[in-house]
């Protein structure tokens, strides 16, 4: 400004100009929303920042592909589908709840989608239920969401932690031993998964000989690992996720624990394996979806589309987001209505078409629980990619969801429908 000596704009004018400009920029998006009022809206209330930004991003990529396909096929009830995206943060349930309220009251979304973090998903479910909006939880695993605190309007793509535990426990007991020690993240998901593992392990004669709850976002696991080593377990179970999984597993391998005991866990994700140095990609795990399924129709096409879109192979998260959005669209088209109750009824027991289920035995929403039951993939982490750098998981066993999901009574879900 001072360079321009000859012509000095009065400061107040300048400020006014700036204010007008800022106001115009702030106001314009709302104008756009108003114009697009005749679309069917999906409120995407999921992490874009923080510890879950990576899975959140991949879920969003899958969701965007689904939206594009839905629109290419004529939309929902003849209307175009639209994604309304806002960062829920990775851990602040207050933000997620507030965003959910706003999306429902202000943006008038037809569907609420989220959340990677179970605690946030639970908070959002409360709001969605209060406002009778159909909610789809793509990737928050806590059992209560489709269990003790299930709601008629809340559906879920990813599995319950108990299902994952049931899928992996037999292999670990059979091949590696009965004394387990747990490294468990200290929040809803971790507590639920550990409880599920203890139950599945006990049913096969195994015991928990110790364990620690580690806070979300722990970077130094050395003290916990020293404790674990002293307990001399057969299997050291890692239930941490994301960056926490990477740090814990990497440090355990640096300490040489992989040579003293078996390292394993339940839920594993491709995102985490990719973040590990090759020597730390060890252990037995269960994945909820895997991109390498050569004999399953449509999977290769899906992989190709996602590769073209993001440059990376799809992960389980990508499929969660994809299947979540498609399920909503199928519900609306099946019910021929955007009424939440009618759509929720249409989803009871609904089987996803193979090009969306993308797994060998198909996928369906279990009636009375609203939980998608699909295949699970048990296997081993690979130091280096077998077929390409992303192929870091060797699937040894494709488990049928119906075999490990437990009975409806066991889930504890008692659904009440609005009169």
Partner 1 sequence: MNGLKQHYAKIIVWAILLTIPYWFTYIGGYLGLANEIVIYALAAMALNFLLGFTGVLSFGHAAFFGLGAYGTALTIKFLVPSTLVGLAVGVLTATVAGMVIGALIIKRRGVYFAMATIAFGQLFFFIANRWNSVTGGDDGVGNWHRMPINLGFTTIPLFHNSLVYYYFTLLLFALAVGAMGLLLDGPFGRSLMAIRENERRARFLGINIELHVWISFVISTAICGLAGGMLALLDNFVNPRDLRFDLSGVLVVMAVMGGMRSFWGPLLGAAIFQWLREVLSSHTPNWQTYIGIVFVLVVLFFRRGILGFKLSTVKS
Partner 2 sequence: MAQLLLFDISNGLITGAFYALMALGLSMILNLSGVINFAHGGFLTLGAYFAYVLQQKIGFFGALLIAPMITALLGLLVERVLIRPLYGRDPLYSLLLTFGLAFILVDGVRIIWGPGSPPYQVPEWLTSPLSSTYFFLTGYRVFMVVLVVTAVAALFYVLNYTKLGLRIRAGTKDLETLSTLGVNTRILRNLNFGLGIYLAGLAGALAAGFLGLSPALGTALLMPSFVAIIIGGLGSLLGTLLGGLLIGVAVGLTTVFYPAASEAVIYVMLGLVLVLRPRGLLGEEGRLH
419 binds, among partner 2, partner 1, none (CB under 5 to 8 A by kind): none
Q: Does 112 sit near partner 1 (CB under 8 A)? A: no
Distance CA 225, CA 175 (A): 22
Q: Which of 126, 132, 337, 348 binds partner 1 (CB under 8 A)?
A: 126
Question: Is the Cβ of residue 15 or residue 204 nearer to partner 1 in the bound state?
Answer: 15
Task: Based on the shown chain and the rule CB under 8 A, indicate whether residue 394 belongs to the binding site for partner 1.
Answer: no
Residue with smaller CB distance to partner 1, 142 or 303: 142
Given the complex with partner 1, which of 187 and 255 has the nearer CB atom? 187
Least distance CB 110 / partner 1 (angstroms): 18
Site membership for partner 1, residue 16 (CB under 8 A) = no
Nearest CA to 63 out of 134, 131, 136 is that of 136
Q: What minimum distance in Å lies between the beta carbon of 60 and partner 2?
A: 12
What residues from 83 to 102 belong to the interface with partner 1 (CB under 8 A)? 85-87, 91-94, 97-98, 101-102
Q: How far is the CB of 216 from partner 1 (least distance, A)?
A: 6
Residue (25 or 407) nearer to partner 1, CB: 25
Site map (CB under 8 A) of partner 1, residues 20-59, x = contact: ------xx-xx-----------------xx---x------
3-state secondary structure the chain: CCCCCCCCCCHHHHHHHHHHHHHHHHHHHHHHHHHCCCCEEEEEEECCCCCCHHHHHHHHHHHHHHHHHHHHCCCECCECEEEEEEECCCCCHHHHHHHHHHHHHCCCCCEEECCCCHHHHHHHHHHHHHHCCEEEECCCCCHHHHCCCCCCCEEECCCCHHHHHHHHHHHHHHHHCCEEEEEEECCHHHHHHHHHHHHHHHHCCCEEEEEEEECCCCCCCHHHHHHHHHHCCCEEEECCCHHHHHHHHHHHHHCCHHHCCEEEEEECCHHHHHHCCHHHCCCEEEECCCCCCCCCCCHHHHHHHHHHHHCCCCCHHHHHHHHHHHHHHHHHHHHCCCCHHHHHHHHCCCECCHHHHCCCCCCEEECCCCEEECCEEEEEECCCCCCCCCCCEEEEEEECHHHHCCCHHHHCCCCCCCC
Q: Which is nearer to partner 1, 29 or 205 (CB)?
A: 29
Q: Which is nearer to partner 2, 200 or 276 (CB)?
A: 276
CB nearer partner 1, residue 27 or residue 409: 27
- Smaller CB distance to partner 2: residue 237 or 404? 237
- Report angle CA 28, 29, 30 to the nearest 5 degrees: 90
Among 196-204, 213-221, 287-295, 332-340, which window interacts with partner 1 (CB under 8 A)?
213-221
Q: Is 222 in the site for partner 1 (CB under 8 A)?
A: no
Q: Binding to partner 1 (CB under 8 A): which residues in 139-158?
A: 149
State the residues that interact with partner 2 by CB under 8 A.
Answer: 49-51, 53-54, 57, 212-213, 215, 217, 219-220, 222-227, 229-230, 243, 246-247, 250, 254-257, 260, 271, 274-279
Sites of contact with partner 1 (CB under 8 A) = 11-12, 26-27, 29-30, 48-49, 53, 85-87, 91-94, 97-98, 101-102, 105-106, 118-119, 122-123, 126, 149, 186-188, 191, 213, 215-216
């Amino acid at each position: 400004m001072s360079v321009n000596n000859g012509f000095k704009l009065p400061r107040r004018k300048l400020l006014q100009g700036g204010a007008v400009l800022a106001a115009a920029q702030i106001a314009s998006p709302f104008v756009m929303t108003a114009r697009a009022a005749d679309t069917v809206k999906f409120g995407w209330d999921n992490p874009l920042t923080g510890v879950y930004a990576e899975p959140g991003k991949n879920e969003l990529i899958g969701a965007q592909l689904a939206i594009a396909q839905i629109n290419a096929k004529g939309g929902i009830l003849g209307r175009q589908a639209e994604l309304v995206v806002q960062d829920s943060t990775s851990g602040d349930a207050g933000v997620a709840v507030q965003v959910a309220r706003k999306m429902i009251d202000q943006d008038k979304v037809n569907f609420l989608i989220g959340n990677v973090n179970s605690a946030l998903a639970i908070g959002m479910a409360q709001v969605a239920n209060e406002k009778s909006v159909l909610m789809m939880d793509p990737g928050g695993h806590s059992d209560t969401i489709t269990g003790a605190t299930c709601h008629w309007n809340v559906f879920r793509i990813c599995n319950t932690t108990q299902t994952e535990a049931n899928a992996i426990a037999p292999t670990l007991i059979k091949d590696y031993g009965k004394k387990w020690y747990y490294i468990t993240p200290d929040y809803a998901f971790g507590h639920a998964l550990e409880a599920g593992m203890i139950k599945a392990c006990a049913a096969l004669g195994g015991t928990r000989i110790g364990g620690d709850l580690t806070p979300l976002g722990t970077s130094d696991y050395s003290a916990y690992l020293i404790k674990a080593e002293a307990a001399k377990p057969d299997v050291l179970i890692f239930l941490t996720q994301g960056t926490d999984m990477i740090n814990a597993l990497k440090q355990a391998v640096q300490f040489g624990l992989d040579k003293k005991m078996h390292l394993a866990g339940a839920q594993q994700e491709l995102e985490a394996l990719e973040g590990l140095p090759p020597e730390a990609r060890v252990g037995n795990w269960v994945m909820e979806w895997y991109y390498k399924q050569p004999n399953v129709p449509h999977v290769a096409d899906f992989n190709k589309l996602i590769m073209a879109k993001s440059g990376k192979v799809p992960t389980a998260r990508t499929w969660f987001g994809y299947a979540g959005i498609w399920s909503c669209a199928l519900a609306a088209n099946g019910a021929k209505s955007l009424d939440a109750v009618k759509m929720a009824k249409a989803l009871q027991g609904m089987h996803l078409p193979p090009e969306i289920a993308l797994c060998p035995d198909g996928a369906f929403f279990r009636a009375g629980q609203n939980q998608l039951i699909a295949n699970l993939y048990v296997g081993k982490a690979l130091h280096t990619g077998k077929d390409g750098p992303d192929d870091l998981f060797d699937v040894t066993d494709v488990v049928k969801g119906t075999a490990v999901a437990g009975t409806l009574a066991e889930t504890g879900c008692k659904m009440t429908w609005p009169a």
